[in-house]
Amino acid sequence: MTGKRIQAIIGHYGSGKTEIAMNLAIALAQRDPVTLVDLDIVNPYFRSAEHPQVLKAHGVKLVKPEFANTSVDIPSLAADVDAALLDESRRVVLDVGGDDAGARALGRFKPHFDRFGLSLLAVVNPYRPRSGSVEQIISMLAAMQERARFPITGLVNNANLSHLTQPENLLYGREVLAQVSRETGIPVVLECALEHARPCEPLAGAAFLPLQRYTKPEWMD
């Protein structure tokens, strides 16, 4: 699937980036050893570190902040993250906190990205507040790039209305991101959806990642 050995998934709150990070890591683990690094220091409810057993069952190694899964939600970027990035025998997926504030966590590891390269993928759901227009999306991307200290290399179309999503919602996302891509020069490299919402026609130049729901907490049932 798309990307360099190290891939980082960033996005606005509610964009679905953690779900995508988990699904991407699990998909990659079917072929290669994979480590998923939870760098989400922003949202304590939807984060990869909350699902260690799911990841373990699919052969994905999880590296998480020291205080993840506790009531103390203080950012802790352990040496384990450095070790994961330096291990060239494994692919790495970084689940980065929402918005530009979360993207700051990436800046700490810029020397590794300069050395090994990085696919920095921005997840966009144009049905979410503050990312509902081309102008808002471009502004969001600029802020995240500045904080991450690394250019965004690809856009991810995750246009969805949760379980109500239909193929036409993905097609609408294509229209919006096509304009974003024209104005920024950043290509759309990935589309994501539950299988029932997958459009019949694939998007040229983009991979498709069928999603499984892993991050829905019990209180949302």
CATH number of domain containing 43 = 3.40.50.300
d(CA 121, CA 187): 10
196 Cβ neighbours under 8 A, 6+ residues apart = none
Q: What is the pLDDT of residues 55-80, one digit of tens each?
A: 999 999 999 866 544 444 444 556 88
Domain presence at residue 220: no
Q: What's the mean pLDDT when you consider all of the chain?
A: 86
Domain membership of residue 52 as a residue range = 6-215
Give the CA distances from residue 113 to residues 13, 64, 86, 120, in Å, rounded to whole numbers and listed in that order: 24, 19, 10, 10
Strands of the sheet containing 91-96, edge to edge, are: 60-63, 34-39, 91-96, 6-11, 119-124, 154-157, 188-194, 207-211
Tell me: pLDDT of 219 over 50.
Answer: no
Average pLDDT over residues 25-32: 96
Per the structure, the count of domains in the chain is 1
Domain presence at residue 1: no
Q: What is the pLDDT of residues 163-190, one digit of tens each?
A: 899 999 999 999 999 999 999 999 999 9
The predicted model scores a pTM of 0.89
Q: Tokens 């692919």 correspond to what residue?
A: 91
